[in-house]
Structure 1
């Protein structure tokens, strides 16, 4: 049974919902799953003024060393001007010791994100996460086209072959829809399956 960590940062709850769905998918493949958040780095005044969502059931990760306890790490963060949010980047910036020791080599990983618009940097944000993960020696699993609901132009659709995504809308009012949550569950399941095969 692989151990899977879903590690995320969420300002308004969209990524938190996707994290829950990713975890559900991984558990459906028999994985033991934990969901943790990275620390908030924005000043409290900014958090309050921007009305960030601060109530969550998921604890903050104790530090980068925790990553070594897992067979797979699935990382989610919203986009900030076409790249991962600084809160997530700051966490990985503290993990240099793991990079130097190769402690994460061979583990499985994936990325997921949220943007305000369909063309708001989903793929570049996924790649900013994936680039970090590759530097740490992780093996990437994306959202393959077995999740066919990422295709089509009949409605607003999240999803990319590089990872599960959702579109929040400019005011954050749009929530992840059934297809986007299904994509997150699909990616979580696939990552857990690959982790199990590599561990076997």
Structure 2
């Protein structure tokens, strides 16, 4: 059974919702899944969401998983500072090759449809590639990302949602299905590589 970590930072709750959907998909594929969040910065983002139930991760935790799925909201077209700061602590893991060959994936949220979803996913994926990880995106087996009948997040690089400029839009059914799909695919690939 593959061991999967869903690691996230969620200032407004959208990423936490996606993280739980990603975890649900990975569990559905038979993986053992933990959901953890990165520590809050000393001065949290305005409107930061309180009361998240996921435990806080430590950088050393990453080495004990077969797959790590990283999610964070977009900050000016790239990953948020709290997630970047957390991953920056992984130099020791990198030096030992502790994450080489493990499966990695990314998911994100933006305020608008063109708010940097793909560049944020790439900023996460870049870190994961430097750690030596094998990347799994949101492949086109998930047809929901192709719809034109409604505004919807999603990219071949990872699951996404659109929060709206004021944060009032919650992840749609299609976006949550995309997150579940990606979680399942990551767990399946991890099982094949490490099973």
**Which TM-score applies when normalising by structure 2?**
0.98
For 2:80, the equivalent position in structure 1 comes to: 85
Aligned-residue CA RMSD (Å):
0.8
For 2:117, the equivalent position in structure 1 comes to: 122
Between the aligned partners of 2:55 and 2:83, the Cα distance in structure 1 is 15
Between the aligned partners of 2:171 and 2:2, the Cα distance in structure 1 is 27
Between the aligned partners of 2:156 and 2:59, the Cα distance in structure 1 is 27
C-alpha deviation, 1:42, in angstroms: 4.3
Q: Gaps spanning 5+ residues in structure 1: where?
A: none
Using the TM superposition, name which of 153-162 and 116-125 deviates more.
Answer: 153-162
For 1:12, the equivalent position in structure 2 comes to: 12
Q: 1:53 aligns with which of 49, 57, 67?
A: 49
Between the aligned partners of 2:3 and 2:96, the Cα distance in structure 1 is 21
- 1:72-111 matches, within 5 Å, as 72-111=67-106
Between the aligned partners of 2:149 and 2:176, the Cα distance in structure 1 is 18
Q: Gaps spanning 5+ residues in structure 2: where?
A: none
**Which TM-score applies when normalising by structure 1?**
0.96
Between the aligned partners of 1:54 and 1:37, the Cα distance in structure 2 is 12
C-alpha deviation, 1:51, in angstroms: 2.0
For 1:164, the equivalent position in structure 2 comes to: 159
Tell me which stretches of 4 or more aligned residues in structure 1 moved more than 3 Å: none
Using the TM superposition, name which of 52-61 and 111-120 deviates more.
Answer: 52-61
